[in-house]
Structure 1
Amino acid sequence: MSGAGKVVCVTGGSGYIASWLVKLLLQRGYTVNASVLDLNDPRQTKHLLSLDGAKERLHLFKADLMEDGAFDALIHGCEGVFHTACPVSVSSTEEEVVGPAVEGTLNVLRSCVKFACVKRVVITSSIVTVKCNEKPLSPDMVVDETWFSDPAFFKEMKLWYVVAKTLAEGAAWKFAKDNGIDLVTLHPGLVTGPFLQPTLNLTVQYVLDLVTGVEPSLPPFSEFVDVRDVAHAHIQAFEVPSASGRYLIVGEVKNIYDVLKNLKQHCYPSLSLPEKWESDKPHQVSKMKAEALGVSFIPLGVSLRDTIESLKEKGFLNI
C-alpha cells in the first residue's frame, strides 16, 4: 500500500469530501490525523471511526479554524496536509464566511511552517475561484486553470462564499510563496455522489431538492464532479511528485434537467422533475491537467444515481 508508514492529516475531517478522503487514505495504508469541531458529537465522528483501518490508523483531533495554533498537534509528524475545512453556507454574512475561510487557511499554513516533516500541502478550493467574473460564459469558452475570479465584483453582489474562497486561495498562494511551502490547490465543481456523513451538506441538499421538485437555486447547467473523484484527486495531488499549481476537477458541464429526465426514464419512474429549463449550450471546462494527474471521472448519471441511493439509504428520500 502506497501510504504504509506515512502520516498525513485532513482538516475538517467530518465533511463530505474529507470523509471520502479519509476513507481512501486509510485504504491506501496511511495513518491519518483528522480534525473535527467537536469530538463528543457522534455526527462528526461515528462515520469516521467506523471506516476500515480507523481503529488502527485514524486519530481525531479537535481544532477550530479561528484558533491560533489549533492545528499544531494535528500536523506534527505529517508528510502531507490536506486542508478541506471551510464554511460553505451560501447565505451567511461576510463576517461568518470570509474571515474563517481566509484566517483559517492561514492558521493551517502557519502550523505547516513549524514542522519540517511537511512535504506538500493540498488545499480544497472551488471552481468559484476560477470562473467567477463579469465576463459571461459562452459555449465556445473553455475554462482552465489560468482563469481567476474577481472578488471585488462578487463583493458588490454580496456573494460571500465566492469572495471567501477566492480570497482564501489568494492568501494561501502568497503565504506559500513567502514561506517555501509546496502547495497544490484543487478546484472541484458541484460535488455529487454518495455521502458517508449522517447529515446533509449543501450540494447533496441541492440534489435532494431537485429530485423532490423544490425550486432549484442554481443555473440550469452546472459543472459536476463525483465526490470519489475529488477525494482521489487529492491523493494524486499529494503522491505525484510533479503535481503543482491549480487543478480544475470537473467531470461534466451538463443541463441537469436532461440528466434527471434520463434517470426518471431508466431508474426512478416516480422521480419529480423541475420545470424544463431552456438553456444555451454550456461552456466547457478543461480536463487536461486533471487527467495528466491521473484523475478519471465517474459519469454524472452514475454519480447522481449513487447520490439518490445514498439519500434513500439514510432516510432522506422515499421514491
Structure 2
Amino acid sequence: MNSGEGKVVCVTGASGFIASSLIHLLLQNGYTVRATVRDPARVDYLKAFPGAEQRLSLFQADLIEQGSFDEAVRGCHGVFHTASPVLFGDIKDPQAELIRPAVDGTLNVLSSCLKSPSIKRVILTSSLAAVLVNDEVIGSEGVVVDETCYSDLAFCEKIKAWYCVSKTLAEKAAWDFAKSNGIDLVVINPGLVIGRCLQPTLNYTFNYFISLITQGNSTTGAFGFINPVDVKDAVRAHVLAFENPSAKGRYCLAATTMYHWEVVKILRGLYPTLCLPESDEEEIKGGKVIKVSKEKAKSLGIISYIPIHQTLQDTIQMLKEKNLLVL
C-alpha cells in the first residue's frame, strides 16, 4: 500500500519548481492531489504525470485574493503551501512584488485551512533565506546555523535582500497565525534548490548557474557561497514532514556549503568543454561560509543527501536539454 493511498492533499503554486516535483512524488506515493495555480491552462504538463489522470485536480487561486483557496483545501487531509514569489536583482517595489504576496498569500492559505476541519497539518515551504542572513554571522569564522536562527530584517533591508525579507516575514506571520488558531504547522527551510526540473519554464534560482557559467558571478549567491540541496531531497522532506506524526517546528535542508569557485571547479571536472569563468580560490579570503546544521533533518528521516556532484550534473544536463547551455 502506498503511503498516500486514501489521503487528499493540496499543493499551492503548482507551476513552481519545488511544487511540480512535489506533486510528482505525491502522485507516485498514491496521494490524491489538488493543485492550485493562477492559470490552470498553463500547467498541462502536470496532467502527464503518472497517476494524474485519476488523482490530480487543478484549481484556480491567487495569493492576494482572500478566500480563493477555500475550494481547493476543503476536505483535504493536508496542505503544502509552496506558492511565493521568487525574485532577485533589480526590484523596483519590494512590497508589491515580493513582500505583500508572500505574507498575505500565506495568511490567505492558512485562513482557508481554518475553514476545513479535515486538515491535519500544513507544510510551509520557507527558505534558508529566512534563517542565515544576519550581520552577526555573515563573514564570521566557523558559524553553524540551525532551526533556532532567523534572518535579521534590518540587515536584510540594509543590503536590499528583499527576497530574504519576504521569506522571513511570511514565515513569522505563519507561525503567529498557526499558534493563535491551533494549526499544526511544519516549516521546511531549504537552501538553493537545484537539480532536474519537471516544469517547462525555469525559476529564478537557475539564473545562478547561467550567470555563473556565462559571467562568473550570480544573483543568488550574494555572499560568495551557496547551501545547495537537490530538489528530490527537498520534496522528500516535505512528504516526510507531513507523514511523520512527531514532526514539528522548522527543518533546515542543505546538502553542503560551497564557495562559487568550488562549484566552478566541479563543473569543470564534469564538463571540460563547458565555457566557464576562471575559478578564484582566493575568494575564500573575502568571507566565511555559513554552514547549516543537519541534525534536526535527520530526525525527520533525511539521513543522507544526493551527492552535490550528481545534483550539479543533473542541473547542467537539464539546462542542456532545454537548449540553455551548449556543452
What range describes the TM-score normalised by the shorter chain of this pair?
over 0.9
Look up the match of 2:212. 210
> Is it true that 1:22 corresponds to 2:20 in the alignment?
no
Of all paired residues, the percent bearing the same amino acid is: 52
3-state DSSP of counterpart to 2:173: helix
CA distance in 1, matches of 2:291, 2:97: 32
* In structure 2, distance between residues paired with 1:155 and 1:216: 20
Q: In the aligned structure 2, how far is the partner of 1:300 from the partner of 1:287? A: 15
Q: What aligned pairs does 1:36-185 form with structure 2 within 5 A after superposition?
A: 36-41=37-42, 45-90=43-88, 91-92=90-91, 93-94=93-94, 95-135=96-136, 136-185=138-187
| Structure 1 unaligned regions, length at least 5 | none
Deviation of 1:263 after TM superposition, in Å, equals 2.9
8 Å contact from structure 1 (residues 121, 183) kept in 2 = yes
Could you list the structure 1 runs, at least 4 aligned residues long, displaced by more than 6 angstroms after superposition.
none
**Aligned counterpart, 1:298:** 306
| CA-to-aligned-CA distance 1:71-111 (integer Å, 9 cap, x gap) | 00110111110000001112332221111100000000000
1:256 matched to 2:255? The reply is no
Amino acid of the structure 2 residue aligned with 1:291: K
Cα distance in structure 2, aligned partners of 1:142 and 1:291? 16
- Residue in structure 1 matching 2:321, options 300, 305, 313: 313
Partner of 1:269: 272
What's the counterpart of residue 227 of structure 1? 231
- Aligned residue pairs: how many? 315
Q: Answer yes or no: is the 8 Å Cα contact 2:8–2:33 preserved in 1.
A: yes
* Rounded Cα–Cα distance in structure 1 between residues aligned with 2:176 and 2:24: 31
Displacement of 1:256 after TM fit? 3.1
Deviation at 1:222, TM superposition (A): 1.1
Whole-angstrom distance in 2 between the partners of 1:173 and 1:11: 18
Separation of aligned partners in 2, 1:186 and 1:51: 24
What SS does the aligned partner of 2:113 have? helix
Letter in 2 for 1:225: V
Q: State the distance in 1 between where 2:198 and 2:216 align.
A: 24
Q: TM-score, normalised by structure 1?
A: 0.95
**Residues 215/284 of structure 1: CA separation in 2 closer, same or farther (3 Å cut):** closer
- The answer (yes or no) to whether the contact 2:216–2:276 under 8 Å persists in 1 is no
The alignment partner of 2:267 has SS state of helix
Q: Distance in 2 between matches of 1:149 and 1:192?
A: 22
Return the letter of the residue paired with 2:300. L
Q: CA deviation at 1:159?
A: 2.2
